[in-house]
Structure 1
Amino acid sequence: MAEFKDFEKLDIRVGEIIKVEEFPEARKPSLKLLIDFGDELGIKKSSAQITELYDEQSLLGNQVLAVINFPPRQVANFMSEVLVLGVYNKDGVVLIQPDRKVAKGSKLG
């Protein structure tokens, strides 16, 4: 069973999606995301399997939560630097977002 200290190891931050691209090289339908986590953390890349519910127009400018302290992961020809968080739903993955705008880089607490 996980303990609270395990949760504390995760660094989960808010970022704003600033660029979205199709990712045809991925095995499963995915999008490439460029996410701005503010001046301290900068811009990070992520691959996300969210094509059932999202496209470029619906994502640009949205804030999302992501784990920023996992090691980078190679996905096809792309290096994913952060893990964007979502909830599995019968229609596809629903992204976890703050219910109001917050400062980029804000930490989940």
Structure 2
Amino acid sequence: MATFEDFQKLDMRVGEIIRAEEFTKARKPAYKLWIDFGDEIGVKQSSAQITDRYRLDELVGKQVLGVVNFPPMKIADFKSEVLVMGTYSDQGVVLIQPEQKVKKGDRLG
């Protein structure tokens, strides 16, 4: 069972998607995302399997929650640096977003 101390090790922050592209080399349908987490962390990239629920043209400007302190993963020819948080729902992965617009880099706490 995970402990509260385990949870505290995760650095989860709000970022804003500033660029999104199709990830044609991924094994499962995915997008390449570039997410701005503010001055302290900067722009990080992520591969996200969210194609069932989101179109590319609606992602830029969207705020999302991401884990920023996992080690990078290489997916095909792309380095995924953050894990974008979402729920596995009947309609596909639904992104976790703040209810109101907040500052880039704000922590989940």
* Shared fold (TM-score, shorter chain, > 0.5): yes
Letter paired with 2:72: P
What TM-score comes out, normalization by structure 2 length? 0.99
Partner Cα distance (1:46, 1:31) in 2: 8
Secondary structure of 1:5's counterpart equals helix
Task: Mark the runs of 5 or more structure 1 residues left unpaired by the alignment.
Answer: none
User: Any residues of structure 2 matched to 1:58-73 within 5 Å, and which?
Assistant: 58-73=58-73
Aligned residues: 109
- Note the alpha carbon deviations across 1:63-104, whole angstroms, 9 max, x for none: 000000000001000000000000000110000000000000
List 4+ stretches of structure 1 deviating above 4 A.
none
Secondary structure of 1:21's counterpart equals strand
Matched, 1:42 2:42: yes
User: Any residues of structure 2 matched to 1:62-101 within 5 Å, and which?
Assistant: 62-101=62-101
Percent identity (aligned):
64
Task: Mark the runs of 5 or more structure 2 residues left unpaired by the alignment.
Answer: none
The Cα RMSD (Å) is 0.4
Partner Cα distance (1:80, 1:96) in 2: 18
Secondary structure of 1:7's counterpart equals helix
Partner Cα distance (2:27, 2:18) in 1: 24
Shift of 1:58: 1.3
Q: Which residue matches 2:29?
A: 29
